Amino acid sequence: MPQDGSLLDSACALCEFGFPWDKLGLLYMESGFMFRKSGHELKGSLCLLKRYGFCNVQIVGICLTFPFVFGVEEGNLVDEIDGLLSDLRFLFLDFDFAASVERNVNVWHEVCRKIKVFYDLNDGKGEIVELIGRNKHVILEHGEKELIEKVEYFCRFGVKKVEVARLILQGSELLNLDLETPVINVLKLLKHIGMSSQGVGDVRKNYAHVLGTIKMANLPNVMKAMGLHEWFFDKIKDGNHRLLTSYITSYPNEDHDKGYKSCLKTFDDARTPTHNMNKLNFMHAIGFGENTLTMNILTHMHGTSEELQNRFDCLLRLGIEFSKLCKIITRQPKILSQNPEILEKKINFLCQEMGNSLEVLDTFPAFICFDLENRIKPRFRFHMWVLEKGLSSKNYSIASMIATSDKNFVGRVSRIHPAAPKHWFEQFYPKKFVVLKICRITALIDNVKAPSNPQVEPLR
């Protein structure tokens, strides 16, 4: 921490150059190392920046937005600093930003912050700079918050960030769209964007959970739920953004499905209407449409909307694809009624202990619903014991191994070897084994005259 006198000396040098006094605290928080320099050293650094052709107000705006350009300790990031300053000089001078921007520190700070929104989308590489320059009206006519909101929206399609920058810079009409509240019809939108009749038929057949109406705010995840997010983005980029703007203009608000509206009315009469509505909003947010199927699925889920979101995010982190996870939820909604810790243990056991891939869940999503300690582990380990002993060469599927009822499983065990049930109960269900022994002894006492069972060689 610098001495008070040194800090004041640095602050005075910055203010003398043109830095607003009320911005110095922000500058100190983001790049405090510069305040360890003397006022004389700071003036020297600022003079170096002026060699790029910037005026004082431009330099202040640049430094407040990109504080590392002040001169990084030990000479780090020299190439990055030079690249950034060269790019900004290209914008300010070659594309004549100076003629369009008021000579005011706050205005230039705002301009630099808006440039940074797009510059960061390309990881600070200069390829995007010319596109910013050719579309400078995007920077000059729209606010930073507006730009950030649209960038975040289209980044949710899971495409490269630089592609999002190009989309918005080349399609500034998108900035005037309300991408939150309009209610649209999924199939109508897909047809409008250019999906073939066969493609629409496939969506209708395989993704019934997304059909009906949706809010524009949920469109990115609706496309992810069908695995069409990249396809959709490709359809609206390279100048084709007008397909989206024209659709919203033509169909600003679609009417909800009657069955869906009927279900909504029941929420008002429910004991916990707010809780139910929050859960429903979670379902819509992850890509489920406004339809009766979504309502039916919702009834099988337990937990708050925050808990459901955490469980959903947990399964995504574990590697399940977004669209596949939505289909799994459609078939087995109860998977989201489990805590993240339990979900993680089951997925790890499936992949690490059982040696299977997540693709197993495509055909057997119910795996996640079974109890790990009392069902999955015992049956898998017994199956491995059978194979190791050479008692059976048949490698049962996971579904056959786990989903078979207890009665049928014990029957199968008995057919493998007469002594196999003893091992099953003794190793995995010792309490039941004791009960069975007592029952057997009781039966022998009650029927002492009954012929004895043939001896079976015990398994070791």
Q: Are 34 and 136 in the same domain?
A: yes
Q: Examine the fold and report which residue of 369, 397, 429 is the final residue of a domain before the chain moves on.
A: 369
Q: Are 95 and 40 in the same domain?
A: yes
Q: Are 409 and 319 in the same domain?
A: no
Count Cβ neighbours within 10 Å for each residue of 167-182 and write b for 16 or more, e otherwise.
Answer: bbbbbeebbebebeeb
- Overall domain count for the chain: 3
Q: How far, in Å, CA of 293 to CA of 331, rounded?
A: 11
The reported pLDDT for the residue numbered 230 is 98
Judging by beta carbons within 10 Å of its beta carbon (0-12, 13-18, 19+), is residue 1 exposed, middle or buried?
Answer: exposed
The reported pLDDT for the residue numbered 45 is 84
Q: Are 365 and 376 in the same domain?
A: no
The reported pLDDT for the residue numbered 124 is 66
Three-class secondary structure of residue 305 per DSSP? helix
Q: Are 391 and 356 in the same domain?
A: no
Q: Examine the fold and report which residue of 149, 184, 219 is the final residue of a domain before the chain moves on.
A: 149
Angle at 310 between CA 309 and CA 312, to 5 degrees: 65
Is 222 domain-assigned?
no
Is 407 domain-assigned?
yes
Q: Are 314 and 340 in the same domain?
A: yes
Q: Examine the fold and report which residue of 99, 133, 149 is the final residue of a domain before the chain moves on.
A: 149
Q: How many CB atoms lie within 10 A of CB 34?
A: 21
The reported pLDDT for the residue numbered 74 is 46
The reported pLDDT for the residue numbered 154 is 98
Q: Are 141 and 28 in the same domain?
A: yes
Is 343 domain-assigned?
yes
The reported pLDDT for the residue numbered 76 is 56
Q: Are 438 and 320 in the same domain?
A: no
Is 382 domain-assigned?
yes
Is 365 domain-assigned?
yes
Is 425 domain-assigned?
yes
Q: Are 363 and 380 in the same domain?
A: no
Reported pTM: 0.86
Q: Are 361 and 420 in the same domain?
A: no
Q: Are 85 and 109 in the same domain?
A: yes
The reported pLDDT for the residue numbered 37 is 75
In the chain (460 residues long), the average pLDDT of successive 10-residue segments reads 65 89 82 74 86 93 88 62 91 89 93 95 81 95 97 97 96 95 96 96 97 97 98 96 93 85 86 93 98 95 97 98 98 97 98 96 96 95 89 86 91 84 81 49 46 50
Task: Give residue for tokens 């669209």.
Answer: 323
Q: Which domain covers residue 28, as residue numbers?
A: 4-149
Q: How many CB atoms lie within 10 A of CB 296?
A: 14
Judging by beta carbons within 10 Å of its beta carbon (0-12, 13-18, 19+), is residue 98 exposed, middle or buried?
Answer: middle
Residue 360 has phi, psi (to 5 degrees) of -55, -35
> Using an 8 Å Cβ cutoff, are 459 and 420 in contact?
yes
Judging by beta carbons within 10 Å of its beta carbon (0-12, 13-18, 19+), is residue 198 exposed, middle or buried?
Answer: exposed
Q: How far, in Å, CA of 227 to CA of 324, rounded?
A: 8
Q: Are 362 and 435 in the same domain?
A: no
Is 176 domain-assigned?
no
